[in-house]
Structure 1
Amino acid sequence: MPGLLWDLHQFESAGNDDEGEGVEHKAFGQVVTALRKEQIDFASGHSWSQHRLADETGLTVRIVGKIERGEQARLDRQILEGLAQAFQLTSFERREFFAMASEVTDASLVRAALGSEEVFTQVWALLDTLCAPAFLMDPFADVIGVNRALLAFHDLNLAQLKAARETAAGANNIAFLLAPDGRLRQMLGRGWRPIALANVQQWRAMTLRYRHTERFRQLFSALSAYPDFYGLWADSHEDGYDDYSRLRSYSYLHGAHGPVAYTVFTNTSISGYGELYLSTFVPQDRVTTALFQELAGKGGQALSLAPWPNPSLG
């Protein structure tokens, strides 16, 4: 993609004006560095250099370096939009990226009077009582809990879930989907790839503001061990794709229940330890409606998996 033809002197001037302001954007700079390294120069096979990012954005190498070091105090609209365009961020990713430029922490996003434990308790109570398959995730897609209807739907048992917690990725939604011999993959059948791809696309946006964290690096490394991960990661950001909604609709032949059709609605709750994502399966035809009603009868308390708050966010 050609670099944007901006007035470079404007950015040099902005940089000089910022020298004494003392405003830092360290976390944002680390995310920019992480996003730059995700871009591959196919001619060389290497990640983009700062020079390449400068070419793609129309910024100078000096300004790119200052941004990555967290020393560029003034992050104006042109700079941010240029970076977002160079990284080909989707709509959801752009929202996370622009918000992160403000350097507002998860704890600062919520009012002081709002207790994170109270938020979690309310969301968990919903997970406990929903009459449809549902699960709860944190920003890394670590699965905090699942209800009994979801276990019954995918023919999963407690032993399988506990075993997942001991893997390098832990009880992570993407890892559950990628496990080659996993029960979930078997149940999804031919529906596996579109479901896995949609989840990776959502995961890219969910984790954008945490790309610089140790948990993301550890998780990315663990997921990279699965044969299908890199293909899904690349396809999740193909040219022209835009992620603008958390609604996901699927219709496929389920390994245990036959034809099913449902939409996954994901509700987002804000807490001081990152967002909580409650995903609920809503039936789209009478057959699936009857199935979910039957599964709802196999009630019981939701099962806890990954710890909350995530140690990386606490």
Structure 2
Amino acid sequence: MADLERRRRLAEFLRSRRERITPREAGIPAGPRRRTPGLRREEVAQLSGVSVTWYTWLEQARDITVSRQVLTSLARALMLSSVERRHLFALADEQPPEQPPGGGPGPALQRLVDALEPHPAYLLDANWDLVGWNRAEAGLIGDPAQLDPAERNLLWLVFTDPALRTLLVDWQGQARDLVAQFRADTRGQFGMPRFEWLTDELRQRSPEFRTWWEAHDLADFGSSRREFTHPAAGALTFDYVKLAALDAPGVKLFACMPADAETARKLPELVAVASGAPVTAAAPAAPAAPAAPTPSAPLTAS
């Protein structure tokens, strides 16, 4: 029943978009005796490169297969906006195509990431490319700005940067989990140039990635805990929280919340590392006088 309802909604949406476009807007001679102001089914079929019968079945909510290529052609023929295009793919139970270059996060989203300091935070696009980060994140994993743009990718760093193998406690377990999460999260990118280049290069460069990628394991993200052995700050433990950016489709914000009081105390050291300032160990808090109230607890992950 749910699938039938989805097909009905897809049919209704296509019909509504077809009826709002005039022949002149579509570059088709209007001709005499048109009973409707919009396009005919056969005209949409012709503009989309599909058969009239197939398109008619689609508007009749028949149980037929719709490929991403056909959806892209329909979106172009019906002159859909970006939000209408995403809605069309969702109704067809398909992932929308890769966002065009330049469709990443805007300045406001980067300001939000900066405002999260001293907590490390970063932005990933649909291919897990790092498209934004703050100084605390740069102090934790190294500054992505120093890398070639093609290498500013979370999986690329985990599998090709020797420093990350030392930084991540239980590198093998965390790296394998990331591969399973990446496969599940990027299923809409299969066949896209950036995705294919990235996975091909990683298979060639990393035997571990090749083995785990070919296992076809899948995993949801969920909130996760990661432990680090930082060369300047020492032992750090973070709980990761992921948020989707509604105004930047495909972009996700990751915030690293300290999982214990010791990690919370060391957060300023990560900013200092990224700024090139000398790192000095924070002095332990002086014991409170007997009559003084108990100090409030440092920020911890929920």
Q: Normalised by the size of structure 1, how large is the TM-score?
A: 0.53
Distance 1:255 1:297, change over 3 A: closer
Choose 1 or 2 for highest CA Rg.
2
Cα 1:103–1:250, aligned 2, differ >3 Å: closer, same or farther?
A: closer
Structure number with the bigger relative contact order (C-alpha 8 A, sep ≥ 6) is 1
In structure 2, distance between residues paired with 1:265 and 1:163:
25
* Structure 2 CA distance for partners of 1:26 and 1:260, relative to 1, 3 Å: same
SS in 1 for 2:122: strand
Q: Which residue of 2 aligns with 1:173?
A: 154
Instruction: Indicate the residue corresponding to 2:244 in structure 1.
Output: 268
Equivalent residue, structure 2, for 1:148: 135
CA contact 1:253–1:259 (8 Å) conserved in 2? yes
Please give the per-residue CA displacement for 1:238-262, whole angstroms capped at 9, x wherever unaligned.
xxx642x431112354444332211
Relative to structure 1, the CA distance from residue 151 to residue 19 in structure 2 (aligned partners, 3 Å threshold; closer, same or farther) is: closer
Cα gap change, 1:149 to 1:141, in 2 (>3 Å):
same
What's the counterpart of residue 291 of structure 2? none
SS at match of 1:246: coil
Change (3 A) 1:289 1:208: same
CA distance in 2, matches of 1:260, 1:153: 10
Structure 2 residue 186 is matched with structure 1 residue 198: no
Counterpart CA distance in 2 for 1:294 and 1:142 is 26
Which digits, 9 at most, give the CA deviation of each residue in 1:58-103, with x for residues without a partner?
xxxxxxxxxxxx9xxxxxxxxxxxxxxxxxxxxxxxxxxx948435
Equivalent residue for 2:225? 249
Report the alpha carbon displacement of residue 163 of structure 1 after superposing the two structures with TM: 3.5
Closer/same/farther in 2, CA of residues 28 and 264 from structure 1, 3 Å limit? farther
Identical pairs, percent: 23
Match of 2:56 in 1: 21
Instruction: Note if contact 2:66-2:92 (Cα within 8 Å) is conserved in structure 1.
Output: yes
Which structure 1 residue ranges, 5 or more long, are not aligned?
Answer: 1-17, 31-69, 71-97, 109-115, 301-314
For residues 105-129 of structure 1, the C-alpha deviation after alignment (integer angstroms, 9 at most, x for no partner) is 4699xxxxxxx77x63332111122
CA-CA distance at 1:276 after TM superposition: 0.9
Using the TM superposition, give the Cα deviation of residue 278 of structure 1 relative to its aligned residue in structure 2, in angstroms: 1.2
Task: Tell me how far apart the structure 2 counterparts of residues 222 and 122 of structure 1 sit (CA, whole Å).
Answer: 33
Secondary structure of the structure 1 residue equivalent to 2:170 = helix
Shift of 1:187: 2.0
Q: Secondary structure at the match of 1:266?
A: strand
Aligned alpha-carbon RMSD (Å):
3.6
- 2:124/2:251 contact within 8 Å kept: yes
Q: Structure 1 runs of 4+ off > 4 angstroms?
A: 296-300
Unmatched 5+ residue regions in structure 2? 1-52, 59-64, 75-88, 276-302
Q: Secondary structure at the match of 1:280?
A: strand
Alignment of 1:1-314 (within 5 A): 19=54, 21=56, 23=58, 25-27=66-68, 99=90, 101-103=92-94, 105=96, 120-131=106-117, 132-154=119-141, 156-157=142-143, 161-165=145-149, 169-179=150-160, 181-188=161-168, 190-225=169-204, 226-234=206-214, 237=217, 242-243=219-220, 245-271=221-247, 274-296=249-271
Amino acid at match of 1:170: E
Cα distance in 1 between the residues matched to 2:239 and 2:216: 19
Tell me the secondary structure at the aligned position of residue 270 of structure 1. Answer: coil
CA distance in 1, matches of 2:134, 2:272: 12
Deviations 1:194-231 (A, max 9, x none): 22223222211221112122222222111111222122
Partner residue in 2 for 1:111? none
Give the drift of 1:104.
Answer: 7.0
CA drift at 1:184:
2.3
Letter in 2 for 1:217: E
Task: Verify the 8 A CA contact 2:98 2:192 in the aligned structure 1.
Answer: no
C-alpha separation in 1, matches of 2:197 and 2:98: 23
